[in-house]
Structure 1
Amino acid sequence: MNAQSSNTIKLLLVEDNPIHVRLIESLLADAKSPSFSLESVGTLSDAHQRVSEGAPEMILLDLTLPDSEGLQTFREIRSQAPTLPIVIVTGLDDVRIAAKAVEAGAQDYLVKNQLSRSTLTRSLRYAIERTRVRDAEWDSPMFRLAQRQFLKAAQLMGLDDNIRQRLLFPERNLVVTFPFRRDQYSEVETVFGYRVQHILTMGPTKGGIRYHQDVSLGEVSALAMWMSWKCALVGLPFGGAKGGVRMDPTGLTSHELQRLTRRFASEIHLMIGPDKDIPAPDMGTDERVMAWIMDTYSQQVGFAVPAVVTGKPVVLGGARGRTEATGRGVVYLVEEAAKQLRMNLSECTAVVQGFGNVGSHAAQFLEALGVKIIGVSDATTGIHNPNGLSVAALLEHVKENRFLKGCRKGEAISNQELLELRCDILVPAAMQNQITADNAERVDCRILAEGANGPTTLEADEVLNEKSVFIIPDILANAGGVTVSYFEWVQDTQNYMWTLDEVNERLHRILVDGFRRTVGRSEQTGVDMRTAALIEGIGTVAQAKLARGLFP
């Protein structure tokens, strides 16, 4: 279903009583995570018309309509839209009808005179969750992209078919559901969480934990696979892992976020550990979340274990420079690409999509090199100023308002318009699938540095390569975070802390080495930079697989 691609759900209400329509509107008016865009029709024939036009993402259905009555109403709309989640809201308080309705495929059966804001919104949320579990766990656009990238590289490098089949799916997948209590103690939700380990061959696994409403098993598996190639590419002794919780953290209080984190940590604690699997921050999580995970794990084993996570506060054994490491790494690699292309960075312009941790730090470091930042964006808006934006002013606005929306330092534009601005350096540091076959022809930059995971599709790659855009692929461009996480893990296991200069010097050395090997592979084999990086990473994993052999 398309409902998961946005945090606003298109809801079709099929109800002929205007009083009940207004009731539903009022109950859903303040709903968040998700919110609902509500359209109402009064007859079954009108509902058929809207469904045929592809309008709704889910349906709220009354069983008594001017042109249909009873369960036949549900059966007719179900036959037309067999995959859409449908919640029945009716005045028929009959347990036998309710049982038949849910047996026939209704997600829920609600009686109007028992309706409240919490029962309605909870029912709709659960309908979305159940549909996602049915349709979209493995079948994720990100996982399909990760597998296609892998298969392309495997074909070009002549990878042994046994290893190719073995690496297509993760070795271990943990899916958990657990109760989560809101600050209003009457509300307890069931939440989905994941931890995936792609390969166990290289040592302990490593990968972040993200909190986002679009997290699924397929998405986490894709990220774990990319992490395997990333670690192997830059020479880290880890296999790839990833975790996540399907929850929008932006609407949570600090107490709710801590309860969610600690319960999730307790659910996965047998799978993680400093010698098994080491989580780190990702989208929607930060050093505070890592501190809670460390504490929860330590409570389980009875003593403090700093090395169980990375990206935690320095006072708990965190590495200096970890917070900004991914953004700093992106800029280190942009510097190398500029040398390759003989570009003077002090004369260059840059656009950064995504003004979170990665994007904001990348913008800061680019600005420090003399690059003019002419466009930035976040989930709420994009801002364009051809004369340049002050990153410090943008950060101050975000500090006060949380998002860029309302910032008057430039012209407000959409994220898609931002991606098509003419610039020298484009840094997509937001979500996956941002540059596709639909807009790649309009992307107008010389260097594309992928701060996000999977921002560019394979079809877009072909277009960009034909245009001679120099792509720094994600498994190299955003490897700074996992590299400094590795430093943190080493420091925690040795109880020996490094200075910020030592961290940055080591980070620079490792990333530049990875860049030069990738460029060399690209020139030697005549493949694009992404394929070259994948061949480097996959080749290292394949060698390790062959060296260890097969048991039994």
Structure 2
Amino acid sequence: MSIAAESAWDTARGQLAEAAAIAGLRPETIKMLSEPQRVLIVNFPVKMDNGKTEFMTGYRVHHNHALGQIQGGTRFHPEETLEDIKALALWMTVKNSLNGLPAGGGKGGVCCDPAVLSRFELERVCRAYIRAIAPLMGSGRDFPGADIGTNAETQSWMLDEWEQIHSMNHEPSAVSGKAVVIGGSQGRAAATGLGVSLAVRETCRVTGRDIKGLRVAIQGFGKVGLWTARILEGYGASIVAVSDVKSGIYREEGLDISGLEEYAGCEQCLAGFPGSAVISNSDLLTCDCDVLIPAAVQGVITGEKAPRVKAKIVVEGANGPTTGAAEDIFRSRGVVVVPDILANGGGTVIAYLERVQGNYNYYWTEEEVHRKYEQMFVRTFDSVYRLAGEKGISLRMAAWVMALRRVEEAMAARGWI
């Protein structure tokens, strides 16, 4: 009899329960955080290029808004589920709180495959989705951003649709991740990869490791993985393995990231890059490296996989890549895990900075944006590392405890508990 795989929602709720016990949260707090405050399920028509109409299912989940306006990305993926969106919304509540943002947690998604849609079909999906979730949106209410399957172009279409709904009132703070020319933030493209890279750098600092020559494997060579590879290579690390949805490659001496980026752009794949060996996505997780960065999707490091992971440091670029069973194994083996809510917070922090810039209609340079985020990250990382040492708990639990205490304080201040 096979054992059912642990879902993202199972993982998130397990983390909540463990951290709540350590933090000593009130029972009312735990009960409220165990389910989202609002769940919107929409079914909307989209006219396809062949003249037929397809009906698509979408979601927008508001997990908790005690700290402020809902903030969280929008995913376009053919296997999107409500359970996944609920988990991601919970993680956004914790991530926003940990980073000190005046923002609650939310997430959205549409069950579709952008890879098989034409550009015109994708635009129609974006606009139809915004019309469908419009009752939950607006400045001060919900600030949807980009995620898997969405980008600056899709976010720009979404903003335009929102503004058309509202009589062409310009509201740059209604959507994040949009094109810079219409109110997006400089530095947004590199945001999450920058955070992951800073997590590696700061972990090396506090553990006495030298980042120069550090062997790094990255699962995922998209928006997060590519920027992480670029930045870490600039720090002096050696990127020995990367992968995309098709396959992965490994080179013991390290890969030339700029050359690989050019090759992948031409060939539309990683396999065949000169001097590298082809490996599977699964094999990348257990390859010979010092640091493993799962930067693709959730649930890839399981209890079955964890004992064979060779890396001594795991930095979570994706949301929820490590299951609870794998976490327990890593803890027993002394593997340092820098959790998603700390490591990949660059996107949400810079989305918040985009909201601030939009509200003031005053914009910073890329260098200013990245400097502000780096200062915030180092301060948060040091606080998490210090609490973990004081309490004798993992970095994940320290991060969750810090975040949950702030959410509970906000809930109490509002009179909810």
Normalized against structure 2, the TM-score is what?
Answer: 0.97
The residue number in structure 2 matching 1:457 is 323
| 1:526 aligns with one of 365, 388, 392 | 392
Aligned match for 1:411, one of 260, 274, 277 = 277
Check if 1:251 corresponds to 2:134: no
Q: CA RMSD in A?
A: 1.5
The amino acid that maps onto 1:145 is T
Instruction: Find the residue that maps to 2:201 and give its secondary structure.
Output: helix
Q: Which residue of 1 aligns with 2:68?
A: 203
Could you tell me which amino acid in structure 1 is paired with residue 313 of structure 2?
A: I
| CA shift for structure 1 position 264 | 0.6
Corresponding letter in the other structure for 2:61: V
Between the aligned partners of 1:214 and 1:515, the Cα distance in structure 2 is: 33
State the distance in 2 between where 1:141 and 1:167 align: 18
- 2:260 pairs, out of 370, 394, 397, with 394
Pair member with larger Rg: 1
Match of 2:346 in 1: 480
Contact persistence 1:140–1:216 (CA under 8 A): no
Show the counterpart of 2:58. Answer: 193
Q: One-letter code of the match for 2:343?
A: A
Are residues 1:444 and 2:317 paired? no
Amino acid of the structure 2 residue aligned with 1:349: R
Match of 2:13 among 147, 159, 175: 147
* Distance of 1:189 and 1:398 partners within structure 2: 32
Deviations 1:56-95 (A, max 9, x none): xxxxxxxxxxxxxxxxxxxxxxxxxxxxxxxxxxxxxxxx
Deviation (angstroms), 1:404: 2.4
Find the counterpart in structure 2 of residue 362 from structure 1: 228
Match of 1:238 in 2: 103
Aligned-pair CA distance for 1:403: 3.3
Structure 1 residue 248: Cα displacement: 1.0
State the Cα distance separating 1:202 from its structure 2 match.
Answer: 1.0
Q: Aligned pair in 2 of structure 1 residues 253, 401: CA closer, same or farther (>3 Å)?
A: farther
Following the alignment from structure 2 to structure 1, what is the Cα–Cα distance between the partners of residues 160 and 268?
28
1:177 maps to what in 2? 43
CA gap 1:272/1:405 in 2 versus in 1, 3 angstroms? farther
CA distance in 2, matches of 1:402, 1:143: 33
Q: Deviation per CA, 1:379-425, whole angstroms, max 9, x where unpaired?
A: 10010111111111221122223332444441111111111012111
How far apart in 2 are the matches of 1:271 and 1:405? 43
Within the alignment, does 1:550 sit opposite 2:409 as a pair? no
Residue of structure 2 equivalent to 1:226: 91
Q: TM-score, normalised by structure 1?
A: 0.73
User: How much has 1:177 moved relative to structure 2?
Assistant: 0.4
Pick one of 270, 286, 297 that aligns with 1:420: 286
- Is 1:496 the counterpart of 2:362? The answer is yes
Q: How does 1:122-133 map to 2 (within 5 A)?
A: none
Gaps of at least 5 residues in structure 2 are: none
1:434 matched residue in structure 2: 300
Q: Corresponding residue for 1:168?
A: 34
Which one-letter code corresponds to 1:198 in the other structure? H
Q: Secondary structure at the match of 1:346?
A: coil
Is 1:212 equivalent to 2:77 in the alignment? yes
Structure 1 gap segments, 5+ residues each: 1-52, 55-138
Distance 1:409 1:244, change over 3 A: farther
The match for 1:535 is 401
SS at match of 1:209: strand
8 Å Cα contact 2:216/2:240 also seen in 1? yes
Aligned residue for 1:466, secondary structure, equals: helix
- Alpha-carbon distance change, 399 to 545 in structure 1, aligned in 2, over 3 angstroms: same
Amino acid at match of 1:291: S
Deviations 1:272-322, CA, capped at 9 Å, x for gaps: 112110011000000000000000000000122111111111101111100
Q: 2: distance between equivalents of 1:405 and 1:192?
A: 34
Aligned partner of 2:285: which letter?
L
Instruction: Name the residue aligned to 2:205.
Output: 339
User: Which structure is richer in relative contact order (CA contacts within 8 A, separation 6 or more)?
Assistant: 2
Query: Could you tell me which residue of structure 2 aligns to residue 291 of structure 1?
Result: 156
Relative to structure 1, is the Cα distance of residues 305 and 436 closer, same or farther in structure 2, using a 3 angstrom cutoff?
A: same
The residue number in structure 2 matching 1:277 is 142
User: How far apart in 2 are the matches of 1:239 and 1:287?
Assistant: 22
Contact 1:354 1:378 in 2 (8 A): yes
**CA contact 1:231–1:239 (8 Å) conserved in 2:** yes
Q: Could you tell which deviates more after superposition, 155-164 or 489-498? A: 155-164
Secondary structure of the corresponding residue to residue 153 of structure 1 = helix
**SS of 2:372's equivalent?**
helix
8 Å contact kept, 2:197–2:228: yes
Are 2:6 and 2:323, in contact at CA under 8 Å, matched by a contact in 1? Answer: no
| Whole-angstrom CA distance in 2 between matches of 1:369 and 1:360 | 14
Counterpart secondary structure, 1:177:
strand
